[in-house]
């Protein structure tokens, strides 16, 4: 069994809480959250047999993955919800409806109520949350009800209704959970004091509440009521858990862009986040090539405008880890030093730093692979020097027409397209592959001799023994046959031929060095075919109509569009031609055709 191939490199996935985004070749298809991104993402690919049919189908569609690193699993859960609502990925069927996380609301009315809701319409009251645990939220409400006398009814307790004795106290009054404001048994001022205390609890000012629970817990323990003591301890733990502050959802942060940067000598790594109504709903990381002496601030000046346009931002505030000039006078650039805004910048910078680390890691791996492959190629071909500069030749013709050839160059195991060359065959007539190969190799290395340019470490000829022999003849004529190693690769069995050796070399089909030679051969073939097609297309565009004096390009196109070819045009009478191009030009074309036909 060979090594498993995944659409992503699992080794680069961070060991951190965050959100992962799966993309196919076109769009975002799934958003997920994880306490440990590496473990969670790896599970999709390492446990295929245990996965559902939907998950296996998802994995088959994945083309690449992106990450957003956050500080905690709680933040990841909130950000996951925001991104699903924003993007509606097709595989997120659980969270892309209208449901959301619950809030606690203190209503805007006389004798306010305190209740849970999944709506956060600011005009209906004060909203606190969201809460990731419904159980935790219910425990807060239960705590408030046990400590304070807050009504749960839906009565409209206006002064007029209370004076008119419109309502009667309910069961909640009789069991001690309400003091009866509906019958005027509790004054509004006293009731609002209770609400203020409850508001402190919801905001997380829990010292008084904790002291109360600690006292109750100790009393229960001293009375050997250990189950009751444990219940009080659990409520304290719940309060600590869900009241921890997050910057992923903070209603005070409205209409803010966050853009941070970190860089190396040649690259800049930027992260952009958009905060709408206190919610991060966009996070994007990108890499930018730096020009000579270009600063981070100069890069941010341009990128800020581009990113804001890309994501349709109208925010007047941009937070960053650098202070820079903004071309839009209405936009303020801020580098916060404390508070939630500072945390947002730190979170964005953490993602930029991870993006930088991943890019550097990938570049190092690429260099190591290139070095490993060229070293392996040297060993397999028994070369004396590592082939860091390889040139490969191929020729192309169809039934002897437009014979052309190509040379592609690989340096350090990668294509060097600026060094590619194509050739029109000049000295060979007809479909002579051997003669064509001899000509182009001779022309290539004669030019390098004249320019005193360095020769490659290896020459690869696309073809078998015949093409290789022709190329060797060219090198011998130039007197450099022994200076440059040369091989030929035959397409049928991927055999490697050496000069003057009838027995081919067979390299393992799984060998990286053979794959490099195949890549060279395929690239040379592609480059030659592309050039050949280009020449043929130019010839086909030419027409007999080009030889007719008084007929321009527009007239020619009209005729070819209508009649498709010169042969069909030559079969038309003058009236058919006049219907398309007018009587005067029709006579010119018709007379030319008649004159040519009479010869």
262: confidence class by pLDDT, cuts 50, 70, 90 = very high
Burial 382-407 (b: 16+ CB within 10 A, else e): eeeebbbbbbbbbbbbeeeebbbbbb
Cα 85 to Cα 255: distance, rounded to the nearest angstrom: 18
Angstrom distances, CA of residue 201 to CA of 44, 49, 125, 147, 347 = 41, 48, 17, 10, 28
Digit-coded pLDDT (tens) for 21-64: 998 887 888 888 888 898 888 888 776 665 667 777 788 888 88
The overall longest dimension of the chain from CA atoms, in Å, is 126
277: confidence class by pLDDT, cuts 50, 70, 90 = low
pLDDT of residue 5: 52
Digit-coded pLDDT (tens) for 307-343: 888 888 888 889 999 988 877 778 888 898 888 888 8
Cα 440 to Cα 406: distance, rounded to the nearest angstrom: 8
Instruction: Name the residue among 529, 381, 375, 369 with its Cα closest to residue 460.
Output: 381
Cα 99 to Cα 89: distance, rounded to the nearest angstrom: 15
Sign of torsion, CA 189 190 193 198? negative
Q: What are phi and psi of 132, to 5 degrees?
A: -85, -15
Digit-coded pLDDT (tens) for 422-471: 888 888 776 778 888 999 999 999 999 999 999 999 999 988 888 899 99
Q: Tokens at residue 418, please?
A: 């600026």
The DSSP call for residue 270 is E
User: Is residue 212 within 8 Å of residue 236, measured between CB atoms?
Assistant: no
Report the Cα 467 to chain-centroid distance in Å: 45
Cα 556 to Cα 554: distance, rounded to the nearest angstrom: 5
pLDDT of residue 47: 63
Instruction: Name the residue among 266, 160, 139 with its Cα closest to residue 209.
Output: 139
Cα 147 to Cα 208: distance, rounded to the nearest angstrom: 11
What dotted CATH number matches 389-538?
Answer: 3.30.420.340
Burial 128-138 (b: 16+ CB within 10 A, else e): bbbbbeeebbe
Average pLDDT of 126-131? 74
What dotted CATH number matches 256-358?
Answer: 3.30.420
Sign of torsion, CA 537 543 546 552? negative
Q: Where are the alpha helices (DSSP H) in 296-424?
A: 296-310, 339-381
SS (H, E, C) 99-141: CCCCEEEEECCCCCCEEEECCCCHHHEEEECCCCCHHHHHHHH
3-state secondary structure of 271: strand
Taking the domains of the chain in order of start, what are their residue ranges?
10-87, 105-204, 256-358, 389-538, 544-597
Cα 435 to Cα 432: distance, rounded to the nearest angstrom: 5
Angstrom distances, CA of residue 180 to CA of 112, 187, 196 = 13, 9, 18
Q: What are phi and psi of 125, to 5 degrees?
A: 160, -170
User: What predicted TM-score, i.e. pTM, was given to this entire model?
Assistant: 0.46
Q: What are phi and psi of 282, to 5 degrees?
A: -140, 135
Digit-coded pLDDT (tens) for 88-118: 787 775 444 445 667 888 998 999 999 888 7
pLDDT of residue 116: 86
Q: Do domains 256-358 and 544-597 have the same CATH topology?
A: no
What dotted CATH number matches 544-597?
Answer: 1.10.150
**CATH superfamily label, 10-87:** GIY-YIG endonuclease (3.40.1440.10)
């Amino acid at each position: 069994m060979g090594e498993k191939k995944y659409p992503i490199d699992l080794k680069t996935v961070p060991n951190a809480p965050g959100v992962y985004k799966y993309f196919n070749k076109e769009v975002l298809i799934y958003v997920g959250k994880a306490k440990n991104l590496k473990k969670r993402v790896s599970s999709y690919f390492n446990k295929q047999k245990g996965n559902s049919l939907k998950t296996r189908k998802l994995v088959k569609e994945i083309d690449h993955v992106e990450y957003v690193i956050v500080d905690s699993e709680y933040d990841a859960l909130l950000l996951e919800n925001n991104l699903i609502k924003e993007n509606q990925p097709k595989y997120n069927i659980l969270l892309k409806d209208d449901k959301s996380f619950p809030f606690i609301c203190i209503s805007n009315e006389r004798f306010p109520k305190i209740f849970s809701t999944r709506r956060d319409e600011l005009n209906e009251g004060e909203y606190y949350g969201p809460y990731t645990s419904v159980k935790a939220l219910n425990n807060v409400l239960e705590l408030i009800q046990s400590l304070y006398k807050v009504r749960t009814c839906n009565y409209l307790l206006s002064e007029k209704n209370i004076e008119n004795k419109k309502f009667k106290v309910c069961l909640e009054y009789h069991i001690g959970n309400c003091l009866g404001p509906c019958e005027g048994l509790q004054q509004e001022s006293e009731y609002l004091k209770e609400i203020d205390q409850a508001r402190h609890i919801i905001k997380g000012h829990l010292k008084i509440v904790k002291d109360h629970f600690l006292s109750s817990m100790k009393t229960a323990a001293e009375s050997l009521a250990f189950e009751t003591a444990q219940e009080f301890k659990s409520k304290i733990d719940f309060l600590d858990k869900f009241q921890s502050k997050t910057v992923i959802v903070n209603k005070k942060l409205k209409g803010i862009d966050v853009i941070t940067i970190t860089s190396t000598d040649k690259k800049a790594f930027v992260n952009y986040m958009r905060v709408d109504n206190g919610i991060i709903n966009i996070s994007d990381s990108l890499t930018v090539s730096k020009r000579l002496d270009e600063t981070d601030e100069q890069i941010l000046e341009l990128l800020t405008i581009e990113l804001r346009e890309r994501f349709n931002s109208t925010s007047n505030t941009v937070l960053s880890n650098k202070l820079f000039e903004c071309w839009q006078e209405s936009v303020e650039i801020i580098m916060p030093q404390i508070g939630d805004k500072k945390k947002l910048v730190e979170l964005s910078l953490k993602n930029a730093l991870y993006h930088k680390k991943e890019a550097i890691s990938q570049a190092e791996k690429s260099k190591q692979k290139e070095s490993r492959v060229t070293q392996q190629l040297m060993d397999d071909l028994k070369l004396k020097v590592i082939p860091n500069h390889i040139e490969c030749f191929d020729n192309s013709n169809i039934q002897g027409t437009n014979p052309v050839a190509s040379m592609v160059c690989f340096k350090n195991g990668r294509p060097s397209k600026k060094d590619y060359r194509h050739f029109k065959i000049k000295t060979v007539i007809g479909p002579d592959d051997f003669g064509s190969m001899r000509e182009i190799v001779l022309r290539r290395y004669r030019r390098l001799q004249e320019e005193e340019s360095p020769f490659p470490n290896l020459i690869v000829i696309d073809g078998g023994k015949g093409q290789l022999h022709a190329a060797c003849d060219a090198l011998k004529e130039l007197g450099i046959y022994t200076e440059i190693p040369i091989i030929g690769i035959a397409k049928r069995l991927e055999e490697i031929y050496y000069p003057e050796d009838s027995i081919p070399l067979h390299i393992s089909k799984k060998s990286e060095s053979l794959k490099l030679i195949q890549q060279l051969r395929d690239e040379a073939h592609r480059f030659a075919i592309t050039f050949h097609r280009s020449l043929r297309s130019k010839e086909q565009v030419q027409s007999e109509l080009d030889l007719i004096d008084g007929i321009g390009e527009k007239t020619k196109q009209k005729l070819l569009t209508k009649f498709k070819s010169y042969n069909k045009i030559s079969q038309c009478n003058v009236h058919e031609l006049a219907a398309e191009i007018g009587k005067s030009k029709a006579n010119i074309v018709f007379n030319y055709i008649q004159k040519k036909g009479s010869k």
